[in-house]
Structure 1
Amino acid sequence: MIRLLLLLFLFFISSLLSVFGQSEKRPQDPVAPFSYQIEDVTFKSGKADFKLAGTLTLPKDKKNPPVAILISGSGPQNRNSEIKQFNHRPFLVLSDYLTNNGIAVLRFDDRGIAESEGEFKGATSHDFADDVLGAIAFLKTKGNVVDTKKIGLIGHSEGSLIAAITASQSKDLAFVISLAGPGVDGAEILLTQSRKAMELQNVPADFIDKNEKLAAKMYDITQKSSDSLTIATEIHSFLAEQKKADPSSPLLMQLTKPVIDGQIKMLTSKWMLNFIKTNPKAYLSKITCPFLALNGSKDIQVLSQLNLNGIKTALKEAKNKDAEFVELDGFNHLFQKAETGSVQEYATIEETFSEDALVVIKDWILKRF
């Protein structure tokens, strides 16, 4: 039986993951000796008084190269954007590839994770954008090793939203790359990914439709208020009305008070409230620097065409003159070549980050810088 938790099928897979997992190397994991310089660094968050820890990789044979800051998606992640349950380290692979091709990379542990200070719990996309502003300020002091006029952002999933928020506040960026990034608000992301996930599980259409109707109303209630008590009261009232009107519904019969309270607790968490209320268009519509949006056709977490169209509309409003939108056929949310795109496939695919996608990113940057 599909549980109500599917109403909140998570936007970004990392926040679902266990801290336990495999440790075997994947084929794409880089191994020493490396053909580039590696520097462990620390820098302060943009506004908060704590230090973030990361790694700066520098091409050996290229003076003052362009530099990309990697921004991870949802959930606590280290500088490698490590997904322990699935045993993949996408940012380790991405940074190694870009640096070997003449592009410097700064990647860092999320606040409160691994070697970084600060508190992860309760932080929102806007808080993480402050951390990225700190990374930009740090790189501006590294004019002896990177081109400080060629600093860019590469964000994955929620990291793309964070990149957009950051770019809307900073005039010091040369480019932005969105990887599997959102172009619509959080409520629509949650609704569409939940539907797609259930379709892949062959859930009956009428169940999916009912689930979506309930979820849409819950998100609407959440978007209209910031008061947890008000949200809880209105959701309880709405669901009570639904149960009274259709007491034999298999879905509604599962809505016991503990289940509903659990859903409300998730909906009213600081991160989720911020996410549901945030529309990327508010930030994308202010970005005029070169912009690349890459999404995979089999991504079930951030549906490709829906979100690429949203990004395209926002950048058109910004009158961005150098924006490119690419749908990579057959790729999932992690940019692996996939059969269905389902979350269950992530661990079974040996490939961490398809070289086809890596080439697109590298070529796009080097064409401009």
Structure 2
Amino acid sequence: MRKFAFVFSLVAMFFLLLTACSKEKEEAPEMGSLENIKGVWEGSINIPDQPLPIIVEFEADQGMISIPIQGLNDYPLTNAKLNGADVFFDMNIQGQKLTFDGKVEQEKIIGTFTQQGQTFPFELAKGSKEEEVEENRLVEVKVEGGMMSGQLEIPDGQGPFPLMVIIAGSGPTDRNGNSIALPGKNNSLKMLAEDLAKEGVATIRYDKRGVGKNMSLASKEEDLRFDHYIDDAAAWVQLAKEDARFSNVGIIGHSEGSLIGMVASQKADADVFISIAGAGRPIDEVLLEQLQVQLPANLLKESTEILEKLKQGEQVKTVSPELQSVFRPSVQPYMISWLQYDPAEQLQKLNNPILLVNGNTDIQVPVKDAELLHEAKKDSELLIVDNMNHILKEAPADREGNIATYSNPDLPLAKGLIDGIVEFLEVHVK
């Protein structure tokens, strides 16, 4: 437990230093030539049980680092140098140096991160913070803080077409269903959009504020609210309703996006709603269920007490170092706003056609959650897809084999998912 506590303390201190100094002026950087590694690199510092996702962008003579989970964007590096295959970069924060020392190996940078004499491995892969998208597939909508970018998939042929707004799940999950918090890509939401287009259904999918193409919309973590996500989703529905290319407009919400989609459907009067792997219980119940298999009794008791306070709208100033990643003070306002919404209650408020989808090998949101939602809204339709896991791929029930699919973009979507969605839409939209 002592080692466990130290790791979390180190992570919390790293976050605190970055946040506190994000507006300070940096020393004039000494830069080496970075031309051969110019571009965006994505990966993580591999702290045991708590990998820290990072994005590093190198230009010809400088570099920047982003930590989306913490709302830290384009923080300047103090030094960045490339000598053959050896790459070195660091940050000088409040007199403390954080260093990355590694080697370029094909399309990866692998090395060691050092802070206060403690070292952890890190790995980055060549990527793109903003994937290239054909101009005619880019759409924008005005939201709080500026313009939000989305990606349109539209079927071939003559419209108008039904359109579904796809909402991604929690954390730094992007419009394609990928997260820099996890190794590799699965492209689940990208496949969903492309497969629906083949069946005559248009879609808009988008990176949430603070993620990918919409990273510039990130605010301080303590200023983010669940309602921001709801308002963003509603804005996309309203935009599509004003477009003559589309007939009916609905929402597909995946995981956390399911609850967002329920409330946004009410706000924007969506024509249909589809929940995929959405929780059927308030988030405190789901979170405690997940923490029960990870925490000792004392930390589980503290977590329960914290959640009780948050549910009452009260913030908790003192949080054990081991729980900072979940309950750090800066994330508590968001959790308070999230806890105000009960999925079953929100679903009951909808009067439009509803399809509830879950996979029977989902190890994150079990089938019982879809059944709870179905019980709460008896006129909804329920679709349980055989062998489908949380990222919409066919997977074994065992955890190791299931998780392996999360980083395999070559796996197709589970059989029966697209057919079930299309059959539902054919009945309820034109």
Q: How has the CA–CA distance of structure 1 residues 263 and 126 changed in structure 2, closer, same or farther, with 3 Å as cutoff?
A: closer
Which position in structure 2 is the counterpart of 1:95?
193
SS in 2 for 1:218: helix
Q: How has the CA–CA distance of structure 1 residues 288 and 3 changed in structure 2, closer, same or farther, with 3 Å as cutoff?
A: farther
What is the alpha-carbon distance in structure 2 between the residues aligned to residue 348 and residue 105 of structure 1?
Answer: 24
Instruction: Tell me whether 1:185 sits opposite 2:282 in the alignment.
Output: yes
Which position in structure 2 is the counterpart of 1:70?
166
Q: How has the CA–CA distance of structure 1 residues 130 and 346 changed in structure 2, closer, same or farther, with 3 Å as cutoff?
A: same
Q: Quick one: percent identity of the two aligned structures?
A: 22
Q: How has the CA–CA distance of structure 1 residues 332 and 260 changed in structure 2, closer, same or farther, with 3 Å as cutoff?
A: closer
What is the alpha-carbon distance in structure 1 between the residues aligned to residue 339 and residue 280 of structure 2?
Answer: 13
Q: How has the CA–CA distance of structure 1 residues 218 and 341 changed in structure 2, closer, same or farther, with 3 Å as cutoff?
A: farther
Deviates more, 1:352-361 or 1:150-159: 352-361
Which position in structure 1 is the counterpart of 2:405?
346
Instruction: Tell me whether 1:146 sits opposite 2:205 in the alignment.
Output: no
Q: Which has the higher contact order (CA 8 A, sep 6+)?
A: 1
Which position in structure 2 is the counterpart of 1:302?
365
Which position in structure 2 is the counterpart of 1:271?
334
Instruction: Tell me whether 1:315 sits opposite 2:350 in the alignment.
Output: no
Query: By percentage of residues, which structure has more strand?
Result: 2
Q: How has the CA–CA distance of structure 1 residues 128 and 314 changed in structure 2, closer, same or farther, with 3 Å as cutoff?
A: same
Q: How has the CA–CA distance of structure 1 residues 258 and 113 changed in structure 2, closer, same or farther, with 3 Å as cutoff?
A: closer
**CA offset at residue 365 of structure 1?**
1.4
**CA offset at residue 277 of structure 1?**
4.2
TM-score, normalised relative to structure 1 = 0.72
Q: Map 1:110-259 to 2 at 5 A.
A: 110-116=208-214, 117-119=216-218, 121=221, 122-143=223-244, 145-147=245-247, 150-171=248-269, 173-195=270-292, 215-229=303-317, 232=318, 258-259=321-322
SS in 1 for 2:383: strand
Q: Which amino acid aligns with 2:194?
A: D
Alpha carbons 1:228, 1:268 under 8 Å: kept: no
Q: How has the CA–CA distance of structure 1 residues 355 and 268 changed in structure 2, closer, same or farther, with 3 Å as cutoff?
A: same
Deviates more, 1:117-126 or 1:257-266: 257-266
Q: Which amino acid aligns with 2:156?
A: K
Q: Which amino acid aligns with 1:279?
A: D
**CA offset at residue 324 of structure 1?**
0.6
What is the alpha-carbon distance in structure 2 between the residues aligned to residue 267 and residue 277 of structure 1?
Answer: 18
| Structure whose CA Rg is larger | 2
Deviations 1:329-352 (A, max 9, x none): 322211222223637333465425
Which position in structure 2 is the counterpart of 1:254?
none
**CA offset at residue 79 of structure 1?**
2.6
Deviations 1:140-170 (A, max 9, x none): 2211x111xx100001001001001111223
Deviations 1:61-107 (A, max 9, x none): 24201100010111234332323423121221111100111001111
Which position in structure 2 is the counterpart of 1:42?
140
Q: Which amino acid aligns with 1:136?
A: V
Q: Which amino acid aligns with 1:134?
A: A
Alpha carbons 1:125, 1:158 under 8 Å: kept: no
Q: Map 1:321-336 to 2 at 5 A.
A: 321=379, 323-336=380-393
Q: Which amino acid aligns with 1:102?
A: G
| Cα RMSD, aligned residues only | 3.3
Which position in structure 1 is the counterpart of 2:425?
365
TM-score, normalised relative to structure 2 = 0.62
What is the alpha-carbon distance in structure 1 between the residues aligned to residue 207 and residue 326 of structure 2?
Answer: 29
**CA offset at residue 261 of structure 1?**
5.9
Alpha carbons 2:315, 2:332 under 8 Å: kept: no
**CA offset at residue 297 of structure 1?**
1.9
Structure 1 runs not aligned, ≥5 long: 7-14, 25-31, 199-206, 237-256
Q: How has the CA–CA distance of structure 1 residues 300 and 42 changed in structure 2, closer, same or farther, with 3 Å as cutoff?
A: same
Q: How has the CA–CA distance of structure 1 residues 208 and 294 changed in structure 2, closer, same or farther, with 3 Å as cutoff?
A: farther
Q: Which amino acid aligns with 2:268?
A: S
What is the alpha-carbon distance in structure 2 between the residues aligned to residue 270 and residue 157 of structure 1?
Answer: 21
